[in-house]
Amino acid sequence: MIGMVLTNLYYLQISRFEDYQTRANGNRIKVLPVAPNRGLIYDRNGILLAENRPVFSLQVIPEDIEDLELTIKALSSLLDIDEEDVSDFYKDLKGTRRFKPVNLVNRLTSKEVALFSAKQHKYPGVSIEARLARYYPYGSALTHVLGYVAKINKKDLQKLSEAGFEANYAATYDIGKRGIEKYHEEKLHGKVGFQEVEVNNQGRIIRILDFNPPAPGQDIVLNIDMKLQLEAEKAFDGKKGSVVAIDPRDGGVLALYSSPSYDPNLFVHGISSKNYKKLLTTDRPLFNRATQGQYPPASTIKPLLALAGLEEKVITLESEINDYGKYKLKNVERVWRDHNPWGHGKVNVTKAIEVSCDIFFYDMAYKLGIDRISENMNEFGFGEYTGIDLHEEADGIMPSRGIVKALFNRPWYIGDTINIGIGQSYWTATPIQLTQAITTLVNKGRRIIPQIIRGNMQNDAVVVQDIKERRPIAIKDEHNWDIVLDAMYGTVNRKGSARKAFRGAHYISAGKTGTAQLVTIGQDEKYDAEKLSKKNRDNAMYVGYAPFDKPQIAVTVVLENAGHGGAEAAPIARKMMDNYFKGQTFPKHTVIEYLGQEQEELELTQAEVQL
């Protein structure tokens, strides 16, 4: 028996010494992950948009407390802890070892920290932990751009595991859920660090043996101009809709606002059921109208359709029609009406865009046909994603025979084509698509992909990312660009539908109004907003750019159920442009007659010039 014991001792302590030594060290030494600091986010002018602020959590170590239930009740009374927090604490407690801390309150106020600190001696096993958490100083003004971070859930862990990134999030509480925070999560998160610690047989840390610091996430800079973004929020004043502003020179998104919005800080520390229910209203504040809202583009696309008509030689600059307020096809009972009941008289393509003559575009669409319309509009990006750096984007619908058959299981009718001529029927587009289309137009075919991120911060300098582009649009006659752009100039500066909104501006702009009809009006009926429920009233729309000769900004405004584009949407675009060009000076504004001929000079007062 003694011989057997000695033999076994020799086997364990000599023959297998290295193997068991390694296993013993594994029980004694542990490697623990250390979370990196999340990268900061700035606007193009260096204004901090997303930062990391210290927050204080109330933590409980269950095994150090004699009567856990009694202690929780006492703390709830002392700090007025919400019942939902207590419920969440007991849920988290079930899956945690008793010597590890569990959060009771995720965010304490400075007053609560002081109150607990004064009485901490009465609560052994309860302590305050400080850590950095995301904070958005501009709240609801930037929600649909930045998105937010929130607690990592099982679905997030599964995706991280499938992508092979699970280890990098071993010590991280939060992950980007929406907006830029989600789209650029990999850049913003950073790389996890590690510390080697010595533990006892119960898993408690005795001392730190080694420390490998984490690499913080990259600080990124956006193209967003925060002053312009705040102007958008102010201009909407609670109205439903969205505004998008882009620099046509590089595709940088200067402003992107969706109304109504919400405070993203509610989600960072875990939103309560009560607050979340408030967001589930018919106004849909969680919905990003700027990139996901799908609206009939209405008359805003008339310049693009006019370009198609010119290119396909269906019309020329000299082509005219007589507009008597109605349009009718032979052997067809239906009558299509103009927004002006008495018509516009003799109309060519320039005047048709300026005064938004529906009859001209009914006739042109009929002659073009849906196949050529669809083909030309696809070139401008309708019916596809723009490529903006947000996951929350819709592609809209650019109707064609095949798409209508697939989606609605019905054939294409000639009446559908006529309605397409004024941006109605099955055609839907997002505000970001409309803005991209207008930038392509002013760039005469150069297709730049809109981008929110401008670049990364390195050594206190911005490393600007390259401009992203798609294949440019090639047309047969370059002069057609000028015809269409001149008509948009006339919309604002001659006798067009946006002249009133931009009267007195110290810069020269161009644009196109739109009024999107949401319900069908009977043949013998007139549109009366007062007789319709608010949700069925027309959408007001406007697309425009400035300055006319060298565009620096393109703006799209969509106001839901607001009425006429020239009266409601164009003034908001004016406010955006006034804000953007504040402090800039321009030559005296001369009104130009068609295609470069001087007609009259519009005198501006000194006060208007210095606006």
Do 206 and 199 meet the contact criterion of CB atoms below 8 Å apart? Answer: yes
Query: What pLDDT does 138 receive?
Result: 96
323 labeled part of a ligand binding site: yes
* pLDDT greater than 50 at residue 228: yes
Letter for the amino acid at 347? V
d(CA 514, CA 497): 9
Do 563 and 541 meet the contact criterion of CB atoms below 8 Å apart? Answer: no
Task: Describe the crossing of helices 83-94 and 68-79 by its angle, rounded to 10 degrees.
Answer: 150
Taking the C-alpha atoms of 381, 384, 388 and 393 in order, what is their torsion angle to the nearest 10 degrees? Answer: 140
Confidence label for 223 from pLDDT (cuts 50, 70 and 90): very high
- Say if residue 159 is in the same domain as residue 200: yes
Query: What pLDDT does 490 receive?
Result: 94
Please tell me the least confidently modeled range out of 55-69, 209-223, 483-497, 573-587. Answer: 55-69
Nearest to 388 by CA among 530, 253, 589: 253
- Say if residue 92 is in the same domain as residue 120: yes
Domain containing residue 445: 226-275+287-609
Query: What pLDDT does 610 receive?
Result: 37
For residue 384, the tally of other CB atoms under 10 A from its CB is 13
Q: What does the DSSP assignment read for 172-184?
A: --EEE-SHHHHHT
- Say if residue 557 is in the same domain as residue 428: yes
Query: What pLDDT does 202 receive?
Result: 53
Nearest to 610 by CA among 506, 501, 508, 509: 506
The 8-class DSSP code of residue 73 comes to H
**94: CATH:** 3.90.1310.10
Average pLDDT across the chain, whole number = 87
Count Cα neighbours of 253 within 13 Å in the Cβ-side half-sphere: 32
Q: Which residue has the higher pLDDT, 606 or 299?
A: 299
Q: How far is CA 552 from CA 209, 252, 549, 580, in A?
A: 57, 10, 10, 9
pLDDT, one tens digit per residue, over 420-449 is 999 998 999 999 999 999 999 999 999 999
- Say if residue 163 is in the same domain as residue 252: no
The 8-class DSSP code of residue 387 comes to -
Q: Number of structural domains, the chain?
A: 2
Query: What pLDDT does 597 receive?
Result: 42
Query: What pLDDT does 599 receive?
Result: 38
- Say if residue 173 is in the same domain as residue 199: yes
* pLDDT greater than 60 at residue 502: yes
d(CA 115, CA 152): 30
Do 146 and 49 meet the contact criterion of CB atoms below 8 Å apart? Answer: yes
pLDDT, one tens digit per residue, over 82-98 is 888 888 888 877 767 77
Please tell me the least confidently modeled range out of 21-30, 196-205, 544-553. Answer: 21-30
Query: What pLDDT does 541 receive?
Result: 95
d(CA 284, CA 228): 24
SS3 444: coil
- Say if residue 432 is in the same domain as residue 529: yes
Query: What pLDDT does 200 receive?
Result: 67
The 8-class DSSP code of residue 445 comes to T
Is 11 part of any domain?
Answer: no
Catalytic-residue membership of 15: no
- Say if residue 181 is in the same domain as residue 232: no
* pLDDT greater than 50 at residue 292: yes
Is 17 part of any domain?
Answer: no
Nearest to 545 by CA among 290, 303, 309: 303
Residue 8 tokens, joined: 């076994």
Confidence label for 274 from pLDDT (cuts 50, 70 and 90): confident
Is 602 part of any domain?
Answer: yes
- Selecting among 242, 261, 299, 374, the annotated active-site residue is 299
- Say if residue 331 is in the same domain as residue 308: yes
Residues in the chain: 611
Query: What pLDDT does 65 receive?
Result: 85
* pLDDT greater than 50 at residue 600: no
Q: Which residue has the higher pLDDT, 353 or 28?
A: 353
Q: Which residue has the higher pLDDT, 486 or 333?
A: 486
Is 282 part of any domain?
Answer: no
The 8-class DSSP code of residue 548 comes to S
d(CA 252, CA 454): 7
Residues 6 or more apart whose Cβ sits within 8 Å of residue 82 = 272
Please tell me the least confidently modeled range out of 57-71, 201-215, 268-282, 445-459. Answer: 201-215
Residue 97 tokens, joined: 């070892």
Do 431 and 558 meet the contact criterion of CB atoms below 8 Å apart? Answer: yes
| 3-state SS, one letter per residue, for 327-360 | EECCCCCCEEECCCCCCCEEECHHHHHHCCCHHH
Give long-range contacts, CB 8 A cutoff, 24+ apart: 3-9: none
Q: How far is CA 11 from CA 6, 16, 24, 223, 548, in A?
A: 9, 6, 16, 69, 90
241 φψ region: left (φ > 0), alpha (ψ -120 to 50), beta (else): left
Q: Which residue has the higher pLDDT, 64 or 309?
A: 309
For residue 80, the tally of other CB atoms under 10 A from its CB is 9
Average pLDDT, stretch 375-399? 96
Do 312 and 373 meet the contact criterion of CB atoms below 8 Å apart? Answer: no
- Say if residue 182 is in the same domain as residue 331: no
Query: What pLDDT does 132 receive?
Result: 87
d(CA 212, CA 568): 58
Is 2 part of any domain?
Answer: no
The last residue of a domain, from among 206, 222, 238: 222
SS3 12: helix
**524: CATH:** 3.40.710.10
Task: Describe the crossing of helices 431-442 and 302-311 by its angle, rounded to 10 degrees.
Answer: 50
- Say if residue 242 is in the same domain as residue 344: yes
For residue 208, the tally of other CB atoms under 10 A from its CB is 11
Highest mean pLDDT among 189-203, 335-349, 367-381: 367-381
Residues 6 or more apart whose Cβ sits within 8 Å of residue 61 = 98, 99, 100, 101, 102, 125, 126, 127
338 labeled part of a ligand binding site: yes
E strand or H helix that includes residue 257: strand 253-259
pLDDT, one tens digit per residue, over 459-473 is 888 999 999 999 999
Q: What does the DSSP assignment read for 102-148?
A: EEEES---HHHHHHHHHTGGG-TTEEEEEEEEEE-TTGGGSHHHH--
Partners of 52 in beta bridges: 134
Is 4 part of any domain?
Answer: no
pLDDT, one tens digit per residue, over 169-219 is 888 888 999 999 999 999 999 999 998 887 765 556 778 888 889 999 999
Is 151 part of any domain?
Answer: yes
Partners of 197 in beta bridges: 30, 208
* pLDDT greater than 90 at residue 240: yes
d(CA 279, CA 289): 15
Instruction: Using the structure block, give the residue that is written with the tokens 């295609």.
Output: 595
Confidence label for 596 from pLDDT (cuts 50, 70 and 90): very low
d(CA 192, CA 169): 7
pLDDT, one tens digit per residue, over 149-176 is 998 888 888 888 888 888 888 888 889 9
- Say if residue 124 is in the same domain as residue 236: no
**Considering the chain, what percentage of its residues have pLDDT values greater than 70?**
90
- Say if residue 461 is in the same domain as residue 346: yes
Do 252 and 467 meet the contact criterion of CB atoms below 8 Å apart? Answer: no
Greatest Cα pair distance in the chain: 120
Is 109 part of any domain?
Answer: yes
End-to-end CA distance of the chain: 104
